[in-house]
Structures are given as structure tokens and as C-alpha cells.
């Protein structure tokens, strides 16, 4: 039997290392090369992606955009190219992110799944985390039309049998994630699968049309919901497996704007009415206040801009001017905040991974060069003492919220520098006084922390007048803000 003809569409921007790994994994895929074309859409990369791919993989067709059009514009370039071909040129389109690695059976399993389920138009892979290859990122997701949020299947669930195995080994195995999940089967019906690995019937894709101009994020969510609204099933396969760089490894910065604005657009189109949309707007404003509360006012304002642009209908790419947000941790020791003469007492919470950030060795050297510097570590709220440092000094942090507030109060103005993890923040720590150092695995951002006056003004001027009130509160809001 003749295999279906596949067009693989990959979008990339300045990810040469990742794209070469992906293409290398596709080279050994269990699918007839004569039935598979690969189209790479480059979003005006400034690195040597195009040159390297052209040299190492000459069979890959490359389309070069003149500017970075984001994931949305990149995939739309590829989809538009596919739609321009004579009808029947391709049976399926396989959309892949540039920072994934695929199991050799990934495509064949998706094709088999759609072949057996003619009422389904989309099939997506089980997504594992590339940075933690034994951990599930998601097996598709559901969309809460009452809350306007995604509910990911099995997010973060470990598969212990994968631990210690190389990526080459994992990519070659014939896998079925249902073997590791109780009462599960080979595939499930979902609302959404990520375009990290999404197979779609070519004729249905053309009927659905191009993605909405989101630039990045939520574009594949809206497309899946749109196609499902046309009367087709969306399936997540447990036999098709890929590995993708997890969101937990990405520091949230300017992308927060697109997450917020685009999520609201999806709620407007696919949520259950105006009340749900009003709640979704309020949720984004709460997120804005949260970032202001932890001392990241520049990020808090992104949500305000997102809400405003959603209401005015502004879509696509936005010029976002943020201050220089971060410096590299691997700078010379003398230039790091720890060496400032006014920093003598440092507090590190359990959320900061001293090994992943490289801070353990740095702080050891700091304390050797500066005997006047001391470092305290907060215990986990469960009372667990997490040892990440020699001669460690712990400060107890209680599970009880009331006791935690007492701890915050007792620690105020005791420290010159308080560390916060960019991946898991503890809001109360930003109010202890002194400088706040937000750290990721490679960078840090130094903040002076929030202030009551600035926070109050931000809440009244920025959040209050945008809050969606009903009834009496709505009339009070109209009186205070002139209906704005």
C-alpha cells in the first residue's frame, strides 16, 4: 500500500544548534523518505542556520522570511506554500517546533492514528521534556471554556524507566506511554495538541485557513479549537513521542505580553460568553498585580498593554521596549551583586537551585574573599532542610500561612540581598527590604523591590480602571473613572 505523502513544516529563528539536532533525528525516522518532504521556514535568523542546513541537509527546502514573523508568521508561510500546491500534493502536514527531537516512530504512529480514525483531523505526539527526558510535558490538553485556560494531561509526571537512558536510545525505542499510565489507552480525545508535533489532514488545514496573527503562543490552540469546531476530532497519541524544551526552562519576559493578549482572544472566540471573558480579563490583571507585588513592575506593565491591545483589536507583532532585564551569572566575580560593599547578609530560599544556577561555587568563593558576608537558607514550608551549601545555616519557614507572615515580619530589613528563583517565586520575600536578585539557570536580574506607594498607585491607576465590575461596583467605577 502506498504511504501517504507528508510535508514537514519547521519554523526557526536563531536556533541553529536545535534545528540541526531535530534534522538529525528526522534523518533516521521510520518513514519512507520518498513520501516525505521537509520545508524549513527561517524567520530571518542572524546566525548561520540557513548555511548549515543547506550544507548538511541539501534535500531540505528552505523558505526565508525577510523579518522575524514569529511562530505564527513562520507556520503561515509554510501553510501558504503548501496550500499553493496542486490539490492532493500532500495528504498530511506535520508541524514541528525547532527545539524538539523526535522518536523514530513518531510520524508513522501519527499517520496510523489518523488513518484508522477518519473522523479525526489532527493527531499530536506525547511531549516529553528535553531538559528532563524522563518527565512528561503533556499528552495533549483540554480547554476550559468556563475559565479560558488550558488543562494539560500528565504535566510533569515522571516515567522512571526512562531515567539514565541516552536520547539516542530513547529515540530508537518503540514506545507506548499508555504502558506507564494506569487505565490509559493508545490515544485520547483532547481539545488541543501543540504544534511542537502536530499532524493535520492537508485538505482540512486548507479549509480551516491560516493561523490568527498572534506572532507567538496560543496560535496552535486557536487553530485546534477552530478545526474541532468544524466537526473533527483532535487526538493525542501515546505511541508517538517527542522531546521538547520545557517552558520551565524559559525565563518569562516579553513573551508574557503575547501569552496574555492571545489568551484573551481565544477566550473571546471559544469561551462561553461575555462573563467568562470578563473573568479572563480580570485574571490577566491579577497576574499584572502579582508581578508588581514581587518587584517586577516592567513585566507587570506588559499585562496592562496586553489587555488594552486586546480591547482595541491590535494583533500581530508588537514592539516591546523593556529595560535590559538580565545579566549573565558567568560574569567576573567582582562584577556580581554579591561583591558589592553594602551586601553583607544574603538570604537564599529553597526555590533556588544552587547547582543549576552555578551559584554554589560563586557564593563559596565570595565568602572566602569576604569573611564579613554571611548566607542564610530558608527551609521548605514542609520543614525540609534542603542542603545545597557547606556549613549551611537554616532559617525555619513554616507551612502555616499565619506563621509564614510572622517569619516575613521577623526577617524584614535583616538582609542586604534576597534571592528569588525566576521559575518559582515566593512573593513575600520581595518585601523583606534590601535588593532582590531574580536568578535563572544562566542569568540574573537585580531589583530594588516593590514599595507600598508605587504598588498602590499602580493598582489604582492601571488595574482599577480596567477591572471588569458588575452592578453597583460597575456604577462606582464609572463614577470614579468617567466610564473609562
What span, in angstroms and rounded, lies between the C-alpha atoms of 207 and 328?
Answer: 47
In a domain, 1, yes or no: no
For 82-119, the pLDDT digits (tens) are 999 998 899 999 999 999 999 999 999 999 999 999 99
Domain count of the chain?
A: 3
Q: Are residues 334 and 281 both part of a single domain?
A: no
Q: Are residues 351 and 290 both part of a single domain?
A: no
In this predicted structure, the answer to whether residue 249 has a pLDDT above a threshold of 70 is: no
What span, in angstroms and rounded, lies between the C-alpha atoms of 362 and 9?
Answer: 43
Q: Are residues 361 and 402 both part of a single domain?
A: yes
What span, in angstroms and rounded, lies between the C-alpha atoms of 440 and 269?
Answer: 35
What span, in angstroms and rounded, lies between the C-alpha atoms of 302 and 261?
Answer: 9
Listed residues 199, 228, 249: the one ending a domain: 249
Residue 404 confidence (pLDDT): 84
In this predicted structure, the answer to whether residue 173 has a pLDDT above a threshold of 80 is: yes
In a domain, 266, yes or no: yes
Give the side-chain half-sphere CA count within 13 A for 190.
Answer: 27
Contact 234, 189 (CB under 8 A): yes
Q: Are residues 157 and 48 both part of a single domain?
A: yes
* Mean pLDDT value across the chain: 91
Q: Could you list the residue range(s) of the whole structural domain that residue 304 is in?
A: 255-324+453-481
Residue 363's alpha-carbon distances to 219, 339, 356, in angstroms, are: 43, 10, 14
In a domain, 176, yes or no: yes
- State whether residue 332 is helix, strand or coil: coil
In this predicted structure, the answer to whether residue 420 has a pLDDT above a threshold of 90 is: yes
Residue 324 confidence (pLDDT): 65
Listed residues 249, 280, 305: the one ending a domain: 249
Average the pLDDT over each of 280-289, 383-392, 473-482 and give the range with the smallest value.
473-482
Q: Which domain CATH number covers 36?
A: 3.90.550.60
Burial (Cβ within 10 Å: 0-12, 13-18, ≥19) of residue 329: middle
First to last CA, the chain: 64
Q: Are residues 137 and 231 both part of a single domain?
A: yes
With CA atoms as reference, report the closest residue to 123 among 268, 239, 7. Answer: 239
Q: Are residues 62 and 192 both part of a single domain?
A: yes
Q: Are residues 320 and 407 both part of a single domain?
A: no
Query: pLDDT class for 472, splitting at 50, 70, 90?
Result: very low
Residue 483 confidence (pLDDT): 41
Q: Are residues 370 and 472 both part of a single domain?
A: no
* pLDDT, average across residues 34-61: 96
In this predicted structure, the answer to whether residue 248 has a pLDDT above a threshold of 70 is: no
Listed residues 224, 249, 274: the one ending a domain: 249
Residue 484 confidence (pLDDT): 37
**% of the chain at pLDDT higher than 90:** 77
Q: Are residues 152 and 28 both part of a single domain?
A: yes
Q: Are residues 224 and 263 both part of a single domain?
A: no
Q: Are residues 215 and 299 both part of a single domain?
A: no
Q: What pTM did the predictor assign?
A: 0.90
251 against 387, higher pLDDT: 387
Q: Are residues 224 and 110 both part of a single domain?
A: yes
For 356-398, the pLDDT digits (tens) are 899 999 999 999 999 999 999 999 988 889 999 998 899 988 7
Which stretch, 176-190, 202-216, 441-455, has highest mean pLDDT? Answer: 202-216
Amino acid at each position: 500500500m502506498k504511504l501517504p505523502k507528508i510535508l514537514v513544516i519547521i519554523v526557526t529563528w536563531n536556533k541553529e544548534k536545535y534545528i540541526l539536532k531535530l534534522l538529525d533525528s528526522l534523518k533516521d525516522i521510520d518513514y519512507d523518505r520518498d513520501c516525505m518532504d521537509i520545508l524549513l521556514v527561517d524567520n530571518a535568523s542572524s546566525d548561520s542556520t540557513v548555511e548549515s542546513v543547506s550544507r548538511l541537509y541539501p534535500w531540505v527546502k528552505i523558505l526565508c522570511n525577510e523579518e522575524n514573523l514569529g511562530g505564527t508568521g513562520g507556520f503561515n508561510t509554510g501553510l501558504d506554500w503548501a496550500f499553493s500546491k496542486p490539490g492532493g500534493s500532500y495528504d498530511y502536514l506535520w508541524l514541528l517546533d525547532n527545539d524538539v527531537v523526535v522518536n523514530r516512530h513518531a510520524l508513522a504512529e501519527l499517520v496510523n492514528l489518523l488513518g484508522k480514525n477518519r473522523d479525526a483531523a489532527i493527531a499530536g505526539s506525547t511531549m516529553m521534556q528535553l531538559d528532563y527526558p524522563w518527565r512528561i510535558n503533556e499528552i495533549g490538553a483540554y480547554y476550559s471554556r468556563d475559565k479560558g485556560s488550558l488543562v494539560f494531561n500528565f504535566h510533569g509526571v515522571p516515567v522512571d524507566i526512562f531515567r539514565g537512558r541516552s536520547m539516542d536510545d530513547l529515540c530508537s525505542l518503540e514506545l507506548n506511554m499508555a504502558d506507564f499510565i494506569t487505565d490509559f489507552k493508545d490515544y485520547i480525545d483532547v481539545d488541543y495538541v501543540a504544534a511542537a508535533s502536530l499532524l493535520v489532514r492537508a485538505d482540512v488545514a486548507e479549509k480551516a485557513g491560516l493561523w490568527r496573527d498572534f506572532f507567538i503562543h496560543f496560535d496552535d490552540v486557536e487553530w485546534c479549537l477552530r478545526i474541532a469546531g468544524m466537526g473533527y476530532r483532535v487526538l493525542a497519541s501515546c505511541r508517538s513521542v517527542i522531546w521538547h524544551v520545557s517552558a520551565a526552562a524559559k525565563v518569562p519576559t516579553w513573551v508574557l505580553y503575547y501569552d496574555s493578549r492571545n489568551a484573551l482572544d481565544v477566550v473571546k472566540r471559544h469561551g462561553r460568553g461575555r462573563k467568562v471573558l470578563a473573568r479572563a480579563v480580570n485574571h490577566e490583571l491579577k497576574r499584572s498585580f502579582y508581578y508588581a507585588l514581587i518587584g517586577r513592575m516592567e513585566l507587570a506593565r506588559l499585562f496592562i498593554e496586553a489587555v488594552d491591545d486586546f480591547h482595541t483589536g491590535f494583533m500581530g507583532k508588537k514592539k516591546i521596549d523593556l529595560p535590559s532585564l538580565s545579566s549573565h551569572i558567568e560574569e567576573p566575580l567582582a562584577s556580581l551583586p554579591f561583591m558589592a560593599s553594602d551586601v553583607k547578609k544574603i538570604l537564599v530560599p529553597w526555590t533556588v537551585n544552587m547547582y543549576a544556577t552555578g551559584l554554589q561555587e560563586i557564593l563559596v568563593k565570595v565568602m572566602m574573599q569576604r569573611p564579613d558576608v554571611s548566607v542564610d537558607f530558608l527551609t521548605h514550608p514542609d520543614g525540609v532542610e534542603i542542603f545545597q551549601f557547606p556549613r549551611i545555616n537554616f532559617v525555619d519557614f513554616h507551612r502555616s500561612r499565619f506563621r509564614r507572615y510572622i517569619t516575613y515580619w521577623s526577617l524584614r530589613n535583616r538582609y542586604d540581598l534576597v534571592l528569588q528563583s525566576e521559575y518559582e517565586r515566593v512573593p513575600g520575600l520581595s518585601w523583606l527590604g534590601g535588593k532582590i536578585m531574580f536568578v535563572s539557570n544562566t542569568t540574573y536580574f537585580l531589583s530594588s523591590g516593590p514599595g507600598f506607594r508605587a504598588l498602590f498607585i499602580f493598582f489604582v491607576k492601571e488595574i482599577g480602571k480596567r477591572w471588569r465590575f458588575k452592578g453597583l461596583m460597575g456604577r462606582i467605577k464609572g463614577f470614579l473613572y468617567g466610564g473609562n
